[in-house]
Amino acid sequence: MVAARAVNEGRTDSIWPGLRYYRFSTPLRYDKTQTLAPGVVIVLQGRKSARLGAITLAYDDMSCLVLGAETRCEGTVVEASAGRPYLAIHMDLAPDLLVKTFVALADAAPAPDAQASPNYVAPVDERVLDAFTRLLPATDHAIDRATIAPLIVEEIIVRLLRSAAASAIRDAAAIKRSAARIHQAMQLIQQHFRRPLDIAELAGAVAMSPSHFAHTFREVAGLAPMHFLRNTRLDAARALLLAGGRRAGEVAALTGFDSAAHFTREFKRRYGAPPAQYARQLASSQPQSI
């Protein structure tokens, strides 16, 4: 299923936001450092290593890498060939869904391991793999994307948060203390991302000092509040671009960016291509029945 969807050498984005596929036919070291959001990577074939901050993790067939927080990554594809290419799924874990789910599971989640790294490698849980085998075809059709895919994504997050990977994703005690207010701030960002927002306003809205709010938001959500705001704007911009009919400058203005140049720079940093080129590439790589 992944081989059929990973139509390009390197990265191929799914129309489902945050979901992408990787294919490499030869060993390769990435030339640049990427900043990755909280997410999960499942390697289906081949072998790779990733330098995440001060540590290097290796993962191969049927391994699951959980990225518990926004992190800088240098990757190396160690094992791949034309006959047996490296194939992997990478899905960002939406911070608002993570926080909402962890709150619901706080009493049932495994106690965090004090020695746990914010990044975690283990054999992929069969239930997580099963959920992905249902998610991929559910992203091919508009009706399924609107109804079935969101439920499967939530299932994947629940499965991860009920596994040993939970300690890598978040500290349950911190979630219990602060998640309600951080989730409230996330909702505020999602409702008002089109206008200027700053730390002071967001902190005031949830009755926290700016410094405590910024620290707690990152502790709970895995990324800084302004990065969550930026990603929310980029998600909305991506949806507008894929709907068609709008130029990058118009999309930038509609999603809260202060200039088309700023928008294009941030979009390319996250998605690997300028807005118009990205929309063309994604349209050409999707099934005709989308």
- Residue of 236 and 29 predicted with greater confidence: 236
Tell me what the pLDDT averaged over the chain comes to: 87
What is the fold of 2-92? Jelly Rolls (2.60.120)
Q: Find the range with the poorest average confidence among 17-21, 69-73, 133-137, 140-144.
A: 69-73
Give the pLDDT score at 169: 66
Q: Where in the chain is the domain with CATH 1.10.10.60?
A: 228-285
* Residue 191: count of CB within 10 angstroms of its CB: 9
Strand order in the sheet with 19-24: 10-13, 19-24, 86-92, 39-45, 63-67, 119-123
- Residue of 122 and 148 predicted with greater confidence: 148
Is 0.85 surpassed by the pTM of this model? no
Task: Convert the pLDDT of each residue in 6-64 to its tens digit.
Answer: 988 999 999 999 999 999 999 988 766 677 778 899 999 999 998 887 888 899 999 98
Task: Convert the pLDDT of each residue in 64-111 to its tens digit.
Answer: 888 877 778 888 999 999 999 999 999 998 888 888 887 777 665 454
DSSP-derived pairing of the beta strands 39-45 and 86-92: antiparallel
Q: Where in the chain is the domain with CATH 2.60.120.10?
A: 2-92
Give the pLDDT score at 177: 67
How many whole angstroms separate alpha carbon 227 and alpha carbon 218? 10
What is the torsion angle, in degrees rounded to the nearest 10, for the CA atoms of residue 185, residue 175, residue 151 and residue 254? 20
Assigned superfamily of 228-285: Homeodomain-like (1.10.10.60)
221 with 169: CB under 8 angstroms?
Answer: no
Please name which of 221, 174, 117, 151 lies closest in space to residue 159, comparing C-alpha atoms. Answer: 151
Give the pLDDT score at 168: 64
Q: Which residues contact 56 (CB under 8 A, 6 or more apart)?
A: 49, 50
Is 252 buried (19+), middle (13-18) or exposed (0-12) by CB count in 10 A?
A: buried
Structural tokens at position 172: 């349950």
Q: Find the range with the poorest average confidence among 229-238, 257-266, 274-283.
A: 274-283
Give Cα 161 distance to the centre of its chain: 15
Instruction: Name the band, by pLDDT with cuts 50, 70 and 90, for residue 114.
Output: very low
